[in-house]
Amino acid sequence: MFDFQLEEKIWFWVLLIIPVIIFLFAILQFWKYRTQKRFANSKLLKRLSPNQSLFKSILKIVVLSLAFACLAIALVNPKIGTKLETVKRQGVDIVFAVDVSKSMLAEDIAPNRLEKSKQLVTQIINNLASDRVGIIAYAGKAFPQLPITTDYGSAKMFLQNLNTDMLSSQGTAINEAIELAKTYFDEEEDTNRVLIIISDGEDHSDVASNVAEEAGDEGIRIFTIGVGDEKGGPIPIKRNGVLLNYKKDSKGETVVTKLNEETLKEIADEANGAYIKGNNTDEVIDEIKDILNRMDKTEFESKEFADFKDQFQWFLGFGIFFLFIDIFLLERKTGWLKRLNLFNENI
């Protein structure tokens, strides 16, 4: 069992050189073919240029592409950790429940409610030290995204994948999100438990407050963050980023979705928490940090990979090897290759 890390992911952009090389090679070959065809027929060309090898030209491009691929991965510097250690940490268990209903596409808060929610959760995670986090997505139903973990990188990756198309049933089933969050916390570990709900509070279930009260009785504190504006805004319908229309009701009227703060405040009050307005990211982060700092940190054990070792040297070596081959791999048929006929070409 092992884990890996990519240290400098930005260098993956170097891989874009490969399709450029292939594209230019294809254009060159097409131009050569058209030009030669106008000059002479294929039999005459073979007599005039008996040593030209198309196969070796293609092979050179393949080798050169492999060289660039290996060098790009070397620059990324992959690291492998094979040693799994048990680490004792102190912190709080935090579950984020993110509303992914269609109303979260409203742009009354930039860039839209859902993207703002992702930004808030990302910044909260960035300011955590040793707390464990989990993620739930919900609309008409609640769906587990990431169980409790100390892997903040994975948490942010799962977070960015949240979208309004991942759940077909619409609505805002906050009660189901709370019920699902209960299963995230380990009953055997006496950790402080926090559920942070990020939503516009609209179209909620009436039983949400009762479920929140039950969660509070079980030691789960619920904090709600409201995203959106009380004046509301329409729900855009887009395709490939282009605005097509706005969502309309059965009467053909444009639907206006509004932030429902009262619902979110009521849910937080029932579970010994607090409501936070999510318009200002810095204020949200400061308030959440203050809340968490006042909580007792519970010690727990977690498994973590250690002793990550650089692996770039392997890819650097292969990259240099392929470049070396490319230098000596001429496009012409060489005498010794003719004798060996390694490429099964007709000499």
**In Å, what is the CA distance from 214 to each residue of 13, 97, 154, 155, 271?**
50, 17, 30, 27, 8
pLDDT of 155: 93
Residue 83's nearest CA partner among 324, 310, 305, 330 is 305
**Digitized pLDDT (tens) for each residue of the chain, 347 residues in all:** 556 677 788 888 888 989 998 999 889 888 877 776 666 566 655 565 555 566 777 888 888 899 999 999 999 888 876 666 666 667 889 999 999 999 999 999 999 999 999 999 999 999 998 889 999 999 888 999 999 988 898 899 999 999 988 877 776 788 899 999 999 988 777 778 999 999 998 866 668 888 999 999 999 999 999 999 989 899 998 888 888 888 888 888 898 999 999 989 999 999 999 999 999 999 999 999 999 988 877 766 665 655 667 888 888 999 899 888 877 765 544 554 455 454 445 54
- pLDDT at residue 40, rounded to an integer: 58
- CATH class label, 87-303: alpha beta
What are the boundaries of each domain within the chain? Answer: 3-81+309-340, 87-303
Residue 321, token pair as written in the block: 């090897």
> Is the CB of residue 345 less than 8 Å from the CB of residue 76?
no
Q: What is the pLDDT of residue 167?
A: 79
User: In angstroms, how far apart are the furthest CA atoms of the chain?
Assistant: 91
Whole-structure pTM over 0.75, yes or no? no
Cis peptide bond N-terminal to 144, omega within 30: no
17: tokens are: 């050189």
CB atoms < 10 A from the CB of 111, how many? 10
pLDDT, residue 112, reads 94
SS3 state at 162: coil
Per-residue pLDDT at 137: 94
What DSSP string describes 38-63?
Answer: HH--HHHHHHH-TTB-HHHHHHHHHH
